[in-house]
Structure 1
Amino acid sequence: MSAPVGGIVGAPVRRVDARAKVTGTATYAADAPVAGALHGVLVLSTIARGRVTAIDTGAAESAPGVIAVLTHLTIRG
């Protein structure tokens, strides 16, 4: 394969964002704040191969800032 003739195709290009990425100062779409965004947290069983017989969501529901607590009973499908 021969070298590129008179063009940029196949030639190395300096990355203008390289310094920001390696120093941790680059901004990504995921870093942009979104008005009204909510965050979710999964709480899993701490007992391997255990059987869940009841779920007490009272403490989670009364925690400050909690909008909703979802369980297998609140999600269809």
Structure 2
Amino acid sequence: SCGKQIVIRPKSYSCTGCEFKIWNEFSGKKITQAQAEKLIKSGKTDLIKGFKKKSGGTYDAVLVLEDKKTGKLGFPARAKK
């Protein structure tokens, strides 16, 4: 984000000064205000439990902020086995 105020909207956490936006739901899991704040400040969350798989199951993961200008989220790259 550009450093301006982040506001809580019904479906997102959005910057008042630019196009930065974090959707408050990702892979079927609601992102809490505390998780969004940590994501914005440090670039990643702690482990979040209960993301939904397309197959119907769930999984746990850390979210990372892939693009600080737009708010694009993703998961950290997996270590090669």
Same structural fold, with TM-score higher than 0.5 when normalized by the shorter chain: no
Larger radius of gyration: 1
Structure 1 length as normaliser, TM-score? 0.19
Q: Which protein, 1 or 2, shows the higher relative CO under an 8 Å CA cutoff with sep ≥ 6?
A: 2
Question: Which one has a larger percent strand, Structure 1 or Structure 2?
Answer: 2
**Under a length normalisation based on structure 2, what TM-score does the superposition of the two structures give?**
0.18
